[in-house]
């Protein structure tokens, strides 16, 4: 009887190494069973801005007794699997087409999982729990929390997992995303360093006193003491303007470089924000499909 209630043991979404690298703060395998409405506690606690990866596999049958088209509902469809952190609102965990993703926690609290078997409240609780009764199947979910916001390290670890499980769709999807963000993160870091270096060069150049050209210094040593004063004044009188123009030109070049680097960094930040936009589009699609499902259920 206990097995009937709890269901059979499921395979994890990915087999984690016995000794994960230091970049992995913690990980946990979790099973989300069909037929059980509401949000389920994972025991994984996140701080705001924590980075974590979700890898999911499995399938659910929303009509185990027949009567609807939702017989093979998978995490990679995007809309079924939902998450919540703490007392926040639910969100679609995975982008459509992917069964693995790395996210940044927008709240502090425990991580919860649930699934859309009917229309859900913002908390993730269903409006019609009776719609879940005939659901069957489960999702296997591996949760990895990371010690740092370091997508180079994340991508490297996922590459190692891929070598061991090259056909794992969740790992492959998460790796593609991590490599894209890693390139952006590296480029943004390099641009930030160059911006700071350029700012310092501009500041140092502005603060430095003008120095006479080398040619003038040589002429000074060769000039006879008895030479008329008018000739002594001729050289120095033109020097400040020449030196000032050269200095201003150097500053202008550095400021142009700074503007270009700043524009590049802005573009990189926009690219990174694009991933958040993808998540919002996933939310919109989930709501659309949820409404479609509600309509279909009402016609049964």
The two three-digit tokens of residue 87, written as one number: 């007392």
Helices 214-222 + 229-299 axis angle, to 10? 170
pTM of the model: 0.71
- Asked whether the beta carbons of 283 and 82 are under 8 A apart, the reply is no
pLDDT of residue 230: 43
Strand order in the sheet with 81-85: 40-46, 109-115, 81-85, 91-92
Which pLDDT value is given to residue 37? Answer: 95
Closest CA to 74 of 9, 23, 141: 141
Q: What is the pLDDT of residues 34-92, one digit of tens each?
A: 999 999 999 999 999 999 999 999 999 998 887 778 889 999 999 999 999 999 999 99
Measured CA to CA, the distance from residue 118 to residue 15 in angstroms comes to 32
- The pLDDT, as a whole number, for residue 69 is 82
Beta strands in 47-184 (DSSP E): 51-61, 81-85, 91-92, 100-104, 109-115, 136-146
Q: What pLDDT sits at residue 266?
A: 74
pLDDT at 130: 92
Spans in the chain with pLDDT lower than 50:
1-7, 216-218, 220, 225-239, 299
What is the rounded distance in angstroms from the CA atom of residue 33 to the CA atom of residue 135? 9
Angle ∠(204,208,209) on CA atoms, nearest 5: 170
């Amino acid at each position: 009887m206990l097995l009937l209630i709890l269901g059979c043991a499921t395979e994890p979404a990915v087999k984690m190494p016995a000794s994960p690298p230091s970049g992995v703060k913690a990980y946990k395998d979790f099973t989300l069973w069909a037929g059980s409405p509401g949000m389920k506690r994972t025991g994984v606690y996140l701080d705001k801005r924590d980075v974590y990866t979700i890898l999911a596999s499995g399938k659910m049958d929303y009509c185990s007794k027949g009567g609807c088209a939702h017989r093979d509902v998978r995490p990679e469809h995007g809309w079924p699997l939902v998450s919540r952190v703490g007392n926040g609102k639910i969100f679609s965990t995975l982008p459509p087409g992917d069964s693995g993703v790395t996210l940044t926690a927008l709240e502090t609290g425990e991580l919860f999982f649930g699934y859309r078997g009917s229309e859900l409240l913002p908390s993730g609780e269903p409006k019609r729990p009776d719609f879940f009764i005939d659901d069957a199947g489960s999702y296997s979910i591996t949760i990895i929390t990371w010690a740092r916001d370091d997508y180079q390290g994340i991508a490297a670890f996922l590459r190692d997992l891929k070598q061991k499980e090259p056909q794992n769709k969740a790992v492959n999807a998460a790796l593609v995303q991590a490599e894209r963000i890693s390139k952006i993160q590296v480029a943004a870091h390099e641009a930030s360093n160059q911006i700071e270096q350029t700012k310092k060069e501009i500041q140092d150049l502005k603060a430095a006193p003008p120095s006479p050209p080398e040619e003038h210094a040589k002429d000074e040593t060769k000039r006879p003491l008895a030479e008329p004063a008018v000739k002594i004044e001729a050289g120095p009188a033109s020097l400040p303007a020449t030196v000032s123009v050269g200095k201003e030109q150097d500053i202008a070049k550095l400021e142009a470089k700074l503007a270009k680097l700043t524009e590049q960094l802005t573009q990189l930040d926009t690219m990174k924000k694009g991933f958040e936009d993808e998540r919002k589009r996933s939310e919109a699609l989930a709501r659309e499909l949820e409404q479609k499902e509600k309509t279909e259920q009402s016609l049964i």
